[in-house]
Amino acid sequence: MTVPSDWAVVDLTADPTACVRFDRAAVYLGRSTAQAKCPAHVVGRSEGLVLEPLATATPSTPGLLRRAIPEAGVQATAYYEPGAESSAAAILGSGRATSKARAAQAAQPAAVAPSVVATGNLVGDAFDTCSAPPQTTMDAWKPSYQAVGIYISGAVRACDQANLTPDWVTANAANGWQFLLVDVGLQAPCSNFSAAKKMSADPATALGQGKTAAAAAVTAAQALGFAQRSAIYSDVEHYTSTAACKSAVLSYLSGWTQELHARGYQGGAYVSASSGGADLASNFTGTTYTRPDNLWFAHWGSTPIGTSRFIPATTWTNHERVHQHTGDVSETNAGVTLQIDKNRVDLTAPPEPVTGFSVTGGVSAATLRWTKPASSTVMVRTAVGSTPPPLLTSGTSVYTGTASVYAMTRLANSASYAFRAWVKDSTGKVSTGADVQLVGTKATVTTSGAWITYGGSVTVSTTVTKLDGSPLAGAPIVLYAKAKNATAYAAVATVTSDANGVATSVQKPTPSTHYQWGHNGNAGVLGTRSAVALVEVRPGISSYLVPAAIKLGATSNFYGYLTPAHQGTRAHLQRKSGTSWAAAGTGVLSANGKYSFVVKPTAKGTYTYRVVWLPDADHQGTQTPSKVLTVS
């Protein structure tokens, strides 16, 4: 690879305790897990390379661009300051495998199931150092300390972490160690760092940068085996505060905490007490910014330990403080010497979330169920759609209380809802959220015709789909009907939907009828009601003109029957006059629905008659075919 000639070259085989520092331009050759001679705390990023034997495939992360080179048996890592990825890629692209190269393949990393909560309940001592120590050091230091600060991520993290692996976390957790997780991200816009290492001075942009950093930190934490409920601290170094700078920093840490909460982690901030600590404390009760759950403040020499004159004693009082009281000192335990910062930890973990969180949908209603820890309160909020409310201040409140089941009503038809439940323990600490989704459904309604003759049938169909686009297959779909003049629907058929969500029913209505399809909901699925389709029913009507030809002065009988009978209603005889129809008589239907008219024209000619029955509340109107009478 071609690199600038002024980059130092460090051979870790020859010098295994050399500190691999990303804040210096260099090429590091090989890999060493020995106790590195690193300072306690370094923040910053330059550009350089780490070339080490190819063993396990390792993905790139912000500030670290990695390439596996199997033909040379090398993993190449280019470190760079924010915004300089293209330069790092160009250096990696300059590499060539020579004839002396030895090929090797990278093993895929084993899947890690995050299970370690950082931290649990701890009142005790912790140390932090730039690079995670080897296992022998951790074993030697255990009697003296209970927790260790480790730098897991961040675009300006300055030390390599050769020892920081999932196995290292698992082994030390088993030995009783607890962990303080640190992300070294963008710094305050008024700090002494270069522009590339600073967050934006625009609060809205800084908020987004904080969220992006938190998302990357969660990925790093999970890859090491740290589970939800863990706190991750954003390292914001000392700055000389101004109003604008304060706004940017608090916005960045708001975005950081909000995103961690959305992903089930706790938000922490590592700050200088006199700058970040004072600014955060000044907004402790404010609502403009989301404050971190835990505060880790550096105030060397402040007494009593755990306090600072910059941070009121009324803030972060619920076992939410870490005090870095001594910095950059050399300490030896069991013959092993490290350069460290010393901390006093007073932390408790948030409560466990609810388990068994489920939702069963109804029609415009749902029932939520959960199991909660003892002596705790459950808080449930919802949002329309598929994304649950990320924070306790977002979405719509559904329930707060100590029950394990809650029925809610007035849900919108054909809408989806996402729910998140939190637990608050007796001390006021809040758990990570547990989520459940209620998928909405929608149903169509179609009929084979808008009307039928009495005694006929109509086919009523529906297609029921989930709002995520998939059909609701194999579900009971109910057809409801209501006579046109009735007030209540009743179920008239239940059909199991096919693979495409289609259900069909053949109906034989007697009066005119409204039809509506419905799914009544089930586990995770909200019920729905379709629109309404009206099928009009026309009575059957017969007609006879006897005789159809008469002599002038004689009579003919126009009669027939209406089905159903509609006794006592009126039938209207009409005679055609030109292109219109004129009234020619009115009669009352008998008990069997018979009508009868005597026709006696007063002049010779041809006469056209029909009988009309007007609609009522139950049925559509109807008429007979035209009948022609000839008078000679």
Q: How confident is the model at residue 100 (pLDDT cuts 50, 70, 90)?
A: confident
Which of the four CATH numbers 3.40.50.970, 3.30.470.20, 3.40.50.11900, 3.20.20.80 does domain 122-347 have?
Answer: 3.20.20.80
Q: Considering only 93-97, 323-327, 560-564, which range has the smallest mean pLDDT?
A: 93-97
Give me 116's structure tokens: 């370690």
Whether residue 184 contacts residue 21, with contact meaning beta carbons closer than 8 Å, is answered with no
Q: With a cut of 90, say whether residue 213 has pLDDT above it.
A: yes
Residues 6+ apart with CB under 8 A from 611: 541, 543, 558, 560, 571, 572, 573, 574, 595, 597, 623, 624
Can you give the residue ranges of every domain in the chain? 8-94, 122-347, 355-438, 441-537, 539-631
Q: What is the mean pLDDT of residues 424-437?
A: 93
pLDDT number for residue 99: 83
Distance CA 455, CA 435 (A): 53
Over the Cα atoms of the chain, what is R_g?
A: 40
- For the domain spanning 355-438, the CATH number is 2.60.40.10
pLDDT number for residue 110: 84
Mean pLDDT, the chain, rounded, equals 96
Q: What is the mean pLDDT of residues 448-476?
A: 97
Q: What is the mean pLDDT of residues 591-608?
A: 97
Angle of CA points 150, 155, 157, to nearest 5°: 35
Q: How confident is the model at residue 329 (pLDDT cuts 50, 70, 90)?
A: very high
Half-sphere exposure of 123 (CA within 13 A, CB side): 4
Q: Residues 106-160: pLDDT tens digits?
A: 888 888 999 999 999 999 999 999 999 999 999 999 999 999 999 999 999 999 9
Q: Residues 519-529: pLDDT tens digits?
A: 999 999 999 99
Q: How confident is the model at residue 101 (pLDDT cuts 50, 70, 90)?
A: confident
Q: Residues 349-374: pLDDT tens digits?
A: 999 999 999 999 999 999 999 999 99
Q: With a cut of 90, say whether residue 507 has pLDDT above it.
A: yes
Strand partners, 368: 359, 406
Half-sphere exposure of 116 (CA within 13 A, CB side): 26
Q: Is the pTM of this model over 0.75?
A: yes
Is the fold of 441-537 the same as that of 539-631? yes
DSSP per-residue codes, 47-80: -EEEEEE--B----BTTEEEEEETTTTEEEEEE-
Q: What is the mean pLDDT of residues 478-482?
A: 98
C-alpha 517, offset from chain centre: 30
Coil, helix or strand at residue 203: helix
pLDDT number for residue 568: 97
What would the 3-class secondary structure string for 501-516 be? CEEEEEECCCCCEEEE
Give me 600's structure tokens: 């006696």
Q: What is the mean pLDDT of residues 392-418?
A: 95
Distance CA 42, CA 237 (A): 10
Distance CA 366, CA 398 (A): 11
Q: How confident is the model at residue 391 (pLDDT cuts 50, 70, 90)?
A: confident
Q: How confident is the model at residue 593 (pLDDT cuts 50, 70, 90)?
A: very high
The DSSP secondary-structure symbol of 248 reads: H
pLDDT number for residue 393: 86
**Pairing mode, strands 580-588 and 570-577:** antiparallel
Q: What is the mean pLDDT of residues 202-222?
A: 98
Whether residue 27 contacts residue 48, with contact meaning beta carbons closer than 8 Å, is answered with yes
Q: How confident is the model at residue 98 (pLDDT cuts 50, 70, 90)?
A: confident
Tokens 């547990």 appear where? 434
Coil, helix or strand at residue 409: strand
Exposed, middle or buried: residue 327 (CB in 10 Å: 0-12, 13-18, 19+)? Answer: middle
Amino acid of residue 535:
V
- Of 238, 225, 234, 266, nearest to 252 by C-alpha is 234
**Pairing mode, strands 502-507 and 490-496:** unpaired
Q: How confident is the model at residue 280 (pLDDT cuts 50, 70, 90)?
A: very high
Which segments of 190-230 are extended strands (E)?
A: none
Looking at domain 539-631, does it have CATH number 3.40.640.10? no
Tokens 């109807």 appear where? 622
Give me 271's structure tokens: 């700050």
Distance CA 332, CA 613 (A): 108
Distance CA 423, CA 446 (A): 47
Q: With a cut of 90, say whether residue 49 has pLDDT above it.
A: yes
Write down the H helix ranges in 263-387: 278-282
Strand partners, 588: 570
Distance CA 526, CA 365 (A): 8
Percent of the chain as helix, strand, coil, to the nearest 5: 15, 40, 45
pLDDT number for residue 109: 84
Q: With a cut of 90, say whether residue 266 has pLDDT above it.
A: yes
- For the domain spanning 441-537, the CATH number is 2.60.40.730
Dihedral sign from CA coordinates of 576, 580, 583, 586: positive
- The total of other beta-carbon atoms located within 10 Å of residue 135's CB is 15
